[in-house]
């Protein structure tokens, strides 16, 4: 087993499950991408660009450094690699990033609708609000910059306007769970909106308490955030 084999296996397992359950838009498609930060090195493993997930092997997973230099892999990494790197550089609490195109989060992405605090579980796991990242073309530096601009809210999920969703985690299992939770709450919120009735959100004092329990100590540094344990 190679140095990066375990990380590649984790990515492949997650990618296949998400693909089979409709998180990438269609089973035969190659939309979305998954990465993990390898240990404490400035290295990530990430899915390749334009390759259907069902046919991938661990040999197809790319490994690159923070300067986009290829370390391992024969395929080009995802066109969204710069976006993933921007997240890792600004959020030291994030060790895995999953970009998906699920149905209900995508619906909210085209009506520019963030998700407020609706359930304790979601607020604790993801954060009080799932914010909208302004639109930019897929794979562009503008999109990466737009994502970085939203990262200081200490949340683990975001909706990409007219695009899809981002789910972050302290490991790939947490990011994977957050991807599921995001689509669940997006579905509930969408159906609630269609009733035309008033949406009941969590009380402000409850949100403040949850945020206090979740909030790491942070200091802002040039180019992003630095998290102190």
* Residues 102-148: tens digit of each pLDDT: 999 999 999 999 999 999 999 999 999 999 999 999 999 999 999 99
Tell me what pLDDT residue 213 has.
87
Cα distance between residue 10 and residue 120, in whole Å: 29
Residue 8: exposed, middle, or buried by beta-carbon count in 10 A (0-12, 13-18, 19+)? buried
| Mean pLDDT value across the chain | 91
pLDDT digits (tens, 9 = 90+) for 23-73: 998 777 778 999 999 988 899 999 999 888 888 999 999 999 999 999 999
Q: In the annotation, is 180 catalytic?
A: no
Q: Are 104 and 190 in contact (CB under 8 A)?
A: yes
CB under 8 Å to 91, separation ≥6 — which residues? 151, 168, 224, 225, 227
To which residue do tokens 């661990």 refer?
58
Tell me what pLDDT residue 40 has.
80
For the domain bounded by 5-228, which CATH number is listed?
3.40.225.10
Tell me what pLDDT residue 107 has.
98
Domain residue ranges in the chain: 5-228
Alpha carbon distances (Å) from 226 to 35, 38, 84: 21, 19, 17
Q: Are 52 and 30 in contact (CB under 8 A)?
A: yes
Cα distance between residue 137 and residue 150, in whole Å: 17
pTM of the predicted protein model: 0.91
**Residue 77 DSSP one-character state:** B
Q: Which of 20, 41, 72, 80 is catalytic?
A: 80
Q: How many Å separate Cα 97 from the centre of its chain?
A: 4
Q: Is the pLDDT of residue 221 over 60?
A: no
pLDDT digits (tens, 9 = 90+) for 147-177: 999 999 989 999 999 999 999 999 999 999 9
């Amino acid at each position: 087993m190679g140095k990066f084999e375990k990380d590649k296996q984790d990515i492949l397992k997650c990618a296949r499950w998400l693909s089979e359950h409709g998180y990438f838009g269609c089973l035969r498609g190659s939309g979305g991408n998954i990465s993990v930060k390898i240990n404490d090195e400035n290295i990530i493993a990430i899915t390749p660009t334009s390759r259907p997930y069902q046919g991938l092997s661990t040999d197809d997973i790319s490994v690159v450094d923070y300067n986009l230099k290829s370390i391992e892999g024969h395929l080009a990494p995802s066109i969204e690699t710069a976006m993933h790197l921007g997240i890792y550089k600004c959020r030291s609490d994030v060790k895995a990033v999953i970009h998906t195109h699920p149905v209900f989060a995508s619906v909210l992405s085209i009506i520019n609708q963030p998700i407020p605090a609706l359930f304790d579980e979601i607020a604790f796991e993801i954060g009080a609000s799932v914010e909208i990242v302004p639109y930019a073309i897929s794979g562009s530096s503008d999109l990466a910059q737009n994502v970085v601009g939203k990262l200081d809210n200490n949340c683990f999920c975001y909706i990409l306007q007219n695009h899809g969703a981002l789910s972050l985690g302290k490991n790939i299992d947490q990011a994977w769970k957050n991807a599921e939770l995001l689509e669940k709450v997006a579905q509930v919120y969408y159906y609630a909106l269609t009733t035309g009735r008033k949406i009941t959100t969590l009380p402000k004092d409850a949100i403040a308490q949850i945020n206090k329990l979740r909030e790491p100590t942070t200091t802002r540094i040039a180019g992003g955030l630095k998290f102190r344990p």
